[in-house]
Amino acid sequence: MQQAAFGAGCFWGVQFEFDKLTGIEKTIVGYMGGKTKNPSYEQVCTDTTGHAETVYIEYDEQSISYEQLLELFWTIHDPTQKNRQGPDVGSQYRSVIFYYTEEQKMLAVKSMERFNASKHFINK
């Protein structure tokens, strides 16, 4: 199994979208990217821990590629909204990709460049 992690707003909606894909073996919601160890929801909502609501994914790369995960990531939210997604406001709702390998980093950067060049911004 391979690993991936994405933040794209409220983690429940993000998890719902990734769970629909064939090849996703497990998803877990939580917080990543901050400085407080094991923060509570209340702590994260103070906007002082630095965490983002994130979905951790385990996937079978024989069934789905990391590029396909990135494609879904870009289409389920508007990464141009700073520290928010729709009605959810706060840095914990920011758009973020956490990578586990250098290849994932390279693919994520390339996908971001393609997204930015496309000027395809959704309205949520």
Residue with tokens 């385990």: 58
Rounded to the nearest 5°, which phi and psi values hold at 113?
Answer: -65, -40
Q: Is 45 a catalytic residue?
A: no
Query: Of 55, 4, 1, whose CA–CA distance to 25 is shortest?
Result: 1
Distance between CA atoms of residues 78 and 62, nearest Å:
29
Catalytic residue among 10, 14, 69, 108: 10
State the Cα torsion 69-71-72-75 to the nearest 10°. 160
Judge whether 94 and 40 are in contact, CB under 8 Å.
Answer: no
Distance between CA atoms of residues 18 and 46, nearest Å:
27
Instruction: List the catalytic residues.
Output: 10
